[in-house]
Every structure is written in structure tokens, then in C-alpha cells.
């Protein structure tokens, strides 16, 4: 069966009725959410089942649930409804000019590096609405509703465009009153607790090897999940943290932190902006990429 436009598409109102009914488990609750009567919801569901030709719901003792076919249909239907919603919000918020972008960023990089620069982007490109989202763990652009992401890894995956924003170069810093004048580095690191980033537990052992310190128990000390947590722990005097300049620079210049050694840890990973290769030519993505290119001047270590 096809509709008047020649497409095999059911009415979107009927699709919304199915999604709400299964999610809420009740025709009455679905009707309340959609501002429709229970009988109207029931009619829409009947129309949809007639349209697709298979049962989508089971009804028993007042409970409503999806059949296996209904669940399979809903899996793709929810993605399609989300895409329609995204497209509508994009054209509405951008008035058809720039658009709307959902960008995933690591929490620390977003708070300390990107957000302070966002006013400049907003002034330069008021037609683009940039939504920032934080994700824990790997980011799958294909399986998410994200348009792009900033990630810390070894580079873009096949099919992705990648722009290197900055490397992960980390220096040892701590509260100034933890340091003893003239004390050798090995003794300082043995005396003061080391603060570890969970995603870079090899950083301290690598740093110590590079500094020629062989006897230190480099894995001892508390761990933290965010660079900003390590920053606050170091400021509070809890120990020595390995932090990038963009995290610790302001505190070093203000004298609230002190550099323990001129040596540093250089990670094999770097921060990259990534997006699907085919999206690079879209106006909003290409504008953001060009703006990021202008911003990625890596500062000299403090």
C-alpha cells in the first residue's frame, strides 16, 4: 500500500502513537502524552498495523507490549524519528542558513580550552548553533546523533576526517609548599604522592624512565578520571600531577602551582577533531574546521 505521494510511508502521527504506547506501556498514557483520546490512539495503531500488514502490539490484561516484529520496527523507527527531529531543529535554529551542530568534547578540554573560545565563534558565526556534549569512552559518530567530536587518540578512523588540535604534552606540577629547595627530583617524587590520570596510567613510569629515575614506585598514588580533577588535587596539595600547559598554565603563572622539573611526558596520543569524511563539505562543519585551524596554535611550555 502506498500513500498519495506514491511512497510506502505510514502517517507520522501513527508512528508517534506506536512509539509512545510501547514506551509507556499504555494507550491511555500515550494519549495523555500526545494530547489525544485513548480511542484515537487505538484507531491510529489499528491503521498502522493494517498498513504494515503484521501485528505490532500484544494486549493482555490491560498491558500493551510490542511483538518481536514491533520491537524490530521500533528500533529503526526511533532512529528515523530522531533524524527528523534533528533536521527540523537544525533548520529552525539556523533559519536555513548555518545550521546546528552536535559536538562531543572531553570534559576538561571543553571546560578549559574550548568554552573560553566559544564567544569568539558565536560572534563570528551567529548563524551556527553549536551544542557541546560530553561522552565517556570511545565516540561512535555513525551510531550516535553527533555531527562531530573532539577525541584523544592516535588519529581518525577509516572514513573519518581528522584535524590535529594539539598533542598531549604533560609536565609535573604541584603546590609550591610541597617542594624543598635543592632536593633532587628522585627524592621529591619518592616523598610526594603522585597523582595519576586513569586513561594514562603509564605516564608516570614513562616520565621516570625518561628522567633516569629507576627505583621509584611509579604506580603509587591516587588516581583521577579527569584532567581538571588532577588540577584541583594538585592545587589542594594532594600530590604531583602530570598536566598539559592548557590545564595548568594559568595556575603556574599565578604562582598557585610550581613546576617540579623541566622534563615532561609526551603521549603518543593527541587531540583530534573528527567528523565523517562525507560531512566535511557541509557549510557548518567546514566553517567550524576553519575556525579551529585558526585556534590551534600550541603554546610553548610554561
pLDDT above 80 (res 250): yes
At which residue does the C-alpha cell 529552525 appear? Answer: 92
Which range is most confident: 125-134, 218-227, 244-253, 276-285?
244-253
pLDDT of amino acid 302: 45
* Grid coordinates given for 5: 505521494
Q: Select from 27, 47, 54 the least CA-distant residue to 38.
A: 27
Q: Where are the CATH 1.10.10.10 domain residues in the chain?
A: 12-93
pLDDT above 70 (res 298): no
pLDDT for 44-72, tens place per residue? Answer: 999 999 999 999 999 877 789 999 999 99
Q: Which fold has domain 168-268?
A: D-Maltodextrin-Binding Protein; domain 2 (3.40.190)
pLDDT of amino acid 287: 94
pLDDT of amino acid 183: 94
Q: How many CB atoms lie within 10 A of CB 44?
A: 24
Q: Say which residues have a Cβ less than 8 Å from residue 28's Cβ, sequence separation at least 6.
A: 38
pLDDT above 50 (res 220): yes
* Grid coordinates given for 88: 527540523
pLDDT above 70 (res 91): no
pLDDT for 137-173, tens place per residue? Answer: 778 887 777 899 999 988 888 999 999 999 999 999 9
CATH number corresponding to 94-166+269-295: 3.40.190.10
When pLDDT is cut at 50, 70 and 90, the band that residue 105 belongs to is very high
At which residue does the C-alpha cell 588519529 appear? Answer: 155
CA atoms of 25 and 59, how far apart (whole Å): 10
Percentage of residues in the chain having pLDDT higher than 70: 92
pLDDT for 115-126, tens place per residue? Answer: 999 999 999 998
Query: What mean pLDDT do residues 189-210 have?
Result: 92
Q: What is the dihedral of CA 15, 18, 23, 29, to 10 degrees?
A: 110
CA atoms of 264 and 93, how far apart (whole Å): 45
Percentage of residues in the chain having pLDDT higher than 90: 61
Looking at per-residue pLDDT, the higher value among 8 and 197 belongs to 197
Q: Which fold has domain 12-93?
A: Arc Repressor Mutant, subunit A (1.10.10)
pLDDT of amino acid 215: 62
Of the listed ranges 151-165, 172-186, 231-245, the one predicted with least confidence: 151-165
Q: Where are the CATH 3.40.190.10 domain residues in the chain?
A: 94-166+269-295, 168-268
Amino acid at each position: 500500500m502506498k500513500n498519495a505521494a506514491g511512497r510506502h510511508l505510514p502517517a507520522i502521527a501513527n508512528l508517534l502513537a506506536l512509539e509512545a504506547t510501547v514506551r509507556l506501556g499504555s494507550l491511555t498514557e500515550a494519549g495523555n502524552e500526545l494530547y489525544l483520546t485513548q480511542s484515537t490512539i487505538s484507531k491510529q495503531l489499528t491503521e498502522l498495523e493494517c498498513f504494515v500488514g503484521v501485528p505490532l502490539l500484544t494486549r493482555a490484561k490491560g498491558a500493551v507490549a510490542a511483538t518481536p516484529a514491533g520491537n524490530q520496527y521500533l528500533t529503526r523507527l526511533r532512529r528515523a524519528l530522531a533524524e527528523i527531529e534533528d533536521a527540523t531543529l537544525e533548520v529552525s535554529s539556523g533559519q536555513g542558513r548555518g545550521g546546528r551542530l552536535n559536538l562531543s568534547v572531553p570534559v576538561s578540554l571543553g571546560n578549559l580550552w574550548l568554552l573560553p573560545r566559544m564567544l569568539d565563534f558565536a560572534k563570528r558565526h551567529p548563524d551556527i548553533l553549536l551544542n557541546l556534549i560530553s561522552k565517556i569512552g570511545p565516540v561512535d559518530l555513525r551510531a550516535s546523533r553527533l555531527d562531530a567530536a573532539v577525541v584523544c587518540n592516535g588519529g581518525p578512523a577509516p572514513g573519518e576526517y581528522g584535524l590535529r588540535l594539539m598533542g598531549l604534552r604533560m609536565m609535573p606540577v604541584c603546590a609550591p609548599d610541597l617542594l624543598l629547595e635543592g632536593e633532587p627530583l628522585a627524592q621529591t617524587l619518592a616523598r610526594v604522592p603522585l597523582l595519576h590520570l586513569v586513561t594514562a596510567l603509564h605516564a608516570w613510569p614513562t616520565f621516570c624512565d625518561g628522567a633516569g629515575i629507576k627505583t621509584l614506585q611509579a604506580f603509587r598514588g591516587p588516581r583521577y578520571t579527569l584532567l581538571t580533577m588532577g588540577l584541583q588535587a594538585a592545587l589542594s596539595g594532594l600530590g604531583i600531577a602530570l598536566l598539559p600547559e592548557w590545564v595548568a598554565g594559568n595556575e603556574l603563572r599565578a604562582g598557585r602551582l610550581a613546576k617540579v622539573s623541566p622534563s615532561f611526558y609526551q603521549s603518543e596520543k593527541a587531540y583530534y577533531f573528527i567528523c565523517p569524511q562525507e560531512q566535511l563539505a557541509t557549510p557548518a562543519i567546514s566553517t567550524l574546521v576553519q575556525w579551529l585551524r585558526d585556534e590551534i596554535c600550541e603554546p610553548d611550555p610554561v
